[in-house]
Amino acid sequence: MSLWTSLEPASATVDPGSSTRVRLRLRNTGDVVDEYRFEPVGPVAPWTTVEPPTLRLYPGTTGTVELTFAPPRTPDATAGPNPYAIRITPTEHPEATTVPEGNLTITPFTEIRAELVPPVVKGRFRGRPRLAVDNLGNTKLTASLNGADNGDQLAYELRPSNVQIEPGRAAWIDTTLKPRRIIWFGSKERHPYTVSVLRSGTNPLPVEGAYLQRGFLPRWLATLFSVLMALAIAFAMLWFAYKPNFGSKAQEQTVAAGAALPTPSATTLAPAPPTAQATEPATQPAETEAAAGSGSGGGGGGGGGGTSTVTAKPPVDTAATAVNRLGKADPGGRHICYRAFVTSKGWQKPVCDGTIAGTTGQNLPIKDLNIAVYGASGSAASGFLYNPQSTNGQGQWQPKWTAIIADGKDNYIGSTKASDPYLEGFEMNIGSGQICTTGHVHNLGWQDQRCTGARPEHVFTGTYDNSLWLEAVKMTVPAS
């Protein structure tokens, strides 16, 4: 080897958001003039600069370059020791590459953000906002949650009440607010409250919201009941005070008329009274006939209803139905099928094994992806979404990965709701073999294809940039 190198110091420490420098000394121990090119490699390479990028040395002379490490204050700057290396390639002898290695320790930092969605909820007996907690630091966040308000007017139920969040991830906490007193009548009441994120050794992070409690019955209905009750009481009082007399004088008039007539004989005083048996036969046949006619008509109507038909909707063609068709035709093969929910267009038909899903050149983001695999031992995934509240120029992850979805089953990433954000990218893995993906990003075009092995390895497709979005994808699961 015709080159001697030394890192001074070999180990360094840096805070995210700041920078530190390491000196690399090298000596040309060969017998010819040579020029050396420097290239950072390793996990911290994106945050490493070398000045100057090339150095020309005469035999026996020594030179120095400066390595500057500037990790960003983001979750990508993983806390703890991070190995790094500098690849040194001589121009005269490119095969004699030297790679001195060092260690860069990135200090941990904690940064969290929390918000209630929505900040104001309405209800009569309960409200159900959701608390989103984002870990923007580079270490795992462990926190508990607590709710409080002035006057203890609300009861709180938080699920879960304790969370552990990995760097760059978020957690959703379902919150149920229950008023301790029900408003039966009257106007709305506003109850401000605070949900606090509690961490050991630090001050709580309060998140303020409001619960707008509605009355069980509106005020106008209570007024109507009061008016009706007053009218009913007034009517009852008038009724009992001025009760009319409905007596009849028909009997008196009959007696008076009878006194003026001659006494009838016994035969005229006892005529046979008409009976129910005498009158019923005259009317019963008509009723029976009508009833029979009615029953016949009802039967005819029922018969007519029985001839109507209902047309069933055809089944939806999803990624699972497409991949199962391929699996039936090729039982020993490996396949992946997928379809995209495109903004303003909706679901596309499923495609498989490297075919394009989505659109290009139309500026239409993908909002949801439907994926299914065959012969790959299932899939799991997580979406990286547009974040309208972003402060670092990046989107945000879905609250958690999907469960591991078995072969031949549908897996969904994202949401089709118009109010939900679109996909900037996604991350996924499979249980066996290899998966390869590539994505078409707005304003950037097609990315290089990325491949990875089986779980726990995973592949990311798309962008972290909050001003861009994913427009199309292609996926394959190559045969082993």
Q: Which residues in 315-458 belong to E strands, given as ranges?
A: 335-342, 346-347, 351-352, 357-358, 366-374, 379-385, 396-397, 411-414, 423-430, 435-441, 445-446, 450-452
Q: Let me know if 332 is exposed, middle or buried by CB neighbors in 10 A (0-12, 13-18, 19+).
A: exposed
Mean pLDDT over 28-51 rounds to 91
What per-residue string of b and e applies to 189-198 under the rule 16 or more CB within 10 Å gives b?
eebebebbbe
The contacts of residue 218 (CB under 8 Å, 6+ apart) are: none
In sequence order, the β-bridge partners of residue 63 are 26
The contacts of residue 206 (CB under 8 Å, 6+ apart) are: 194, 195, 196
CA distance 326 to 352: 9
Peptide bond into 108 cis (omega under 30): no
Written as six digits, the tokens of 430 are: 């499979």
pTM, entire model? 0.43
Residue 159 host element (H or E): strand 154-159
pLDDT for the residue 347: 97
**Residue 70 to residues 49, 66, 191, Cα–Cα distance (Å):** 8, 13, 47
> Is the model more confident about 76 or about 368?
368
Residues 6+ apart with CB under 8 A from 381: 369, 371, 401, 402, 411, 413, 426, 427, 428, 429
Token pair for residue 4?
Answer: 């001697």
Range with the poorest average pLDDT among 37-46, 56-65, 71-80, 118-127? 118-127
Among 246-255, 309-318, 391-400, which stretch is predicted with the lowest mean pLDDT? 246-255
Rounded to whole angstroms, what are the CA distances from 12 to 66, 102, 452? 13, 8, 32
pLDDT in tens, 443-462: 999 999 999 999 999 999 99
Q: How far apart are CA 19 and CA 147, in angstroms?
A: 40
Q: Are 422 and 463 in contact (CB under 8 A)?
A: no
Confidence class for position 370, pLDDT limits 50, 70, 90: very high
DSSP for 67-93, written as a single string? EEE---SSTTS-SEEEEEEEEEEESS-
For 237-260, write each residue's pLDDT tens digit.
888 887 655 554 544 444 344 444
Instruction: Give how far Cα 154 sits from Cα of 151, 178, 209, 360, 393, Å.
Output: 8, 5, 12, 51, 37
Amino acid at 387: N
How far, CA to CA in Å, does 436 sit from each of 5, 145, 453?
A: 39, 40, 9
Task: Give the model's confidence band at 295: pLDDT under 50 very low, under 70 low, under 90 confident, else very high.
Answer: very low
DSSP for 231-298, please give it: HHHHHHHHHHHTPPP----HHHHHHHHHHHSPPPPHHHH-PPPP-HHHHHHHHHHHHHHHHHHHHHHH
DSSP calls for 364-381: --EEEEEEEEESSS-EEE
**Integer Cα distance of 142 and 249 in angstroms:** 94
- What does the pLDDT read at residue 23? 95
CA separation for the pair 351, 273 (Å, rounded): 92
Across the chain, mean pLDDT equals 84
Print burial letters for 127-158: b (CB count within 10 Å at least 16), e (below 16): bebebbbbbbbbbebebebebebeeebbebeb
- Token representation of residue 368: 């949801």
pLDDT score for 268: 36
Q: State both tokens at 390.
A: 């972003």
pLDDT over 90 percentage in the chain: 63
User: Which DSSP letter does residue 106 get?
Assistant: E
Q: Is the pLDDT of residue 264 over 50?
A: no
Residue 177, helix vs strand vs coil: strand
Q: With a cut of 60, say whether residue 274 has pLDDT above it.
A: no
Which of these ranges, 128-132, 213-217, 230-234, 303-307, has the smallest mean pLDDT? 303-307
Residue 446 CA to residue 463 CA, distance in Å, equals 11
